[in-house]
Amino acid sequence: MDYGIEQRDQEAAVRLRGRLTFNDHAKLRALIGEMKQNKAKRQVLDLSSLEFVDSAGIGMLLIAREEMVAATKELVLRGAVGQVKRVLTVAQIGKIVTIED
Amino acid sequence: MVVQTPPPRTRFAALHGLAMADDRLARCATWLGLPSRRGKRDSGPTLALLDGPQGATEAAAWLPPITAWIEPTAGDDAQPSLTLLTTRAGSVDLYINVTTQTANNLHLAERILNALAARHPLPQDRREDLELALHEAISNALVHGNLEVAGMKELSAAELERFSRDLVQQMANPILSQRRLEVAVTLEATAMAVEVADEGNGFQPTPMDCHGASGRGLNLIATVADSIELQDGGRRIRMRFAL
């Protein structure tokens, strides 16, 4: 998985690309650190270029959400398609994190 | 791991070395009584021998006529174990037996789906769902089984750090990273059975145990598979899928 962060006025848009699995633990640690440090109150994870996510990847997204709550920031998951969208639905992640199309 | 050897389904016609030294490949060919047919693609069912992930990253390494992928042990006991694994490989339609390190480097589930799709066309959605189920079973076997790393129990960056540190540390342990992972696929007309086995300490599943950042893997498999059965104290999972 790779990511790029685009800083706007009120929100930071983070585009995730490729496959998000348990092997991406180091990248997720770095990403969560960057999201905590930037000034935007609203952190949007753009999942439209993410091709695959596993259960550990979902777990890491939930950790990101908890860390944003602790930093009084909002986390939004946006634009999931295909397998990623199906897993988010099956795991009922919408009950915990804001999901936008 | 407990290895059963039902009657043969696959009779190997040849060996194919994937980045394996010539002399080692020749030795294995003698042991197994199979010709080594490097480069030829028109032979019958072929057993690929690996020496680490090198050579197995090419797409062609996961396409017919190769039906089995075995990474022989390096020690003096290589012959009996290779013979046993080859018999096991012959009892199913697709068979993989590699070290934890190699399995992790190869992103095995994606490779297996390539091998499967070459034999049984699958709609994109179904293919992705099957890949997820296989990936979850394989990563459970690697991470929690062979590497003995506990899942992320709490939703915190500290727990993610602990998971990250444990995973790197355990993978660097030569004993744990050389533990084997086995995947055996039996194809039927409209279904397939997949077994994934590890050499860890096993585990007692607690159904619907889905706290914190971990524990969703088996539940995700259950949404894709027709049935799941845990065997050998949790070291082996047997899954059945409609095709």
Q: Is A72 on the interface with B (CB under 8 A)?
A: no
Q: How many CB atoms are closer than 10 A to CB B106? A: 21
Which pLDDT score is estimated for B12? 96
Contact B162/A at CB under 8 A: no
Judge whether B220 is closer than 8 Å to chain A, CB to CB. yes
- Dump pLDDT digits (tens) for A46-100: 999 999 999 999 999 999 999 999 999 999 999 999 999 999 999 999 999 999 9
ipTM over 0.90: yes
Q: Cβ–Cβ of B136/A54 closer than 8 Å?
A: yes
Output the six-digit token pair for B99: 């070290």
- A54 CB within 8 Å of a chain B CB: yes
* Amino acid making up residue B11: R
- Statement: residue B208 has pLDDT above 80: no
Phi/psi of residue B55, nearest 5 degrees: 85, -20
B229 touches chain A (CB under 8 A): no
Asked if A63's CB is within 8 angstroms of B160's CB, the reply is yes
Closest-CA distance, B54 to chain A, in angstroms, reads 19
Chain B residue whose CA is closest to A84 = B128
User: What is the identity of the amino acid at B135?
Assistant: H
What is the reported pLDDT for B75?
78
The CA distance from B37 to B41, in Å, is 8
Choose among A22, A65, A66: nearest Cβ to B143: A22
Q: Give the pLDDT confidence of A41-50 residue by residue, as tens digits.
A: 999 999 999 9
Three-state SS at B55: coil
Dig out the tokens for B55 from the structure. Answer: 């050579």
pLDDT computed for residue B43 by the predictor:
75
Q: Can you give the residue ranges of every domain in chain A? A: 2-100
Token pair of A76 as six digits: 């939004």
Mean pLDDT score of chain B, rounded to an integer?
92
Radius of gyration in angstroms for the set of CA atoms belonging to chain A, rounded to a whole number: 12
pLDDT category at B7 given cuts 50, 70, 90 is: confident
CATH architecture of B14-242: 2-Layer Sandwich (3.30)
CATH superfamily, domain at A2-100: STAS domain (3.30.750.24)
Examine the pLDDT at A3 and tell me if it is beyond 80.
yes
> What percent of chain B shows pLDDT beyond 90?
84
| B178/B176 Cα distance (integer angstroms) | 5
Lowest mean pLDDT among B9-13, B38-42, B203-207, B222-226: B38-42
Which of B156, B160, B216 is nearest residue A25 as measured by Cβ atoms? Answer: B160
Residue B119: pLDDT band with limits 50, 70, 90: very high
Q: Do B125 and A52 make contact, defined as CB atoms within 8 angstroms?
A: no
Q: Name which of A54, A62, A87 is nearest B139 (Cβ-Cβ).
A: A54
Report pLDDT digits (tens) over B141-194. 999 999 999 999 899 999 999 999 999 999 999 999 999 999 999 999 999 999
Predicted pLDDT at B203: 85
pTM: 0.94
Residue of chain B nearest A57, judged by CA positions: B213
- What does the pLDDT look like over B73-115, one tens digit per residue? 987 779 999 999 999 999 999 999 999 999 999 999 999 999 9
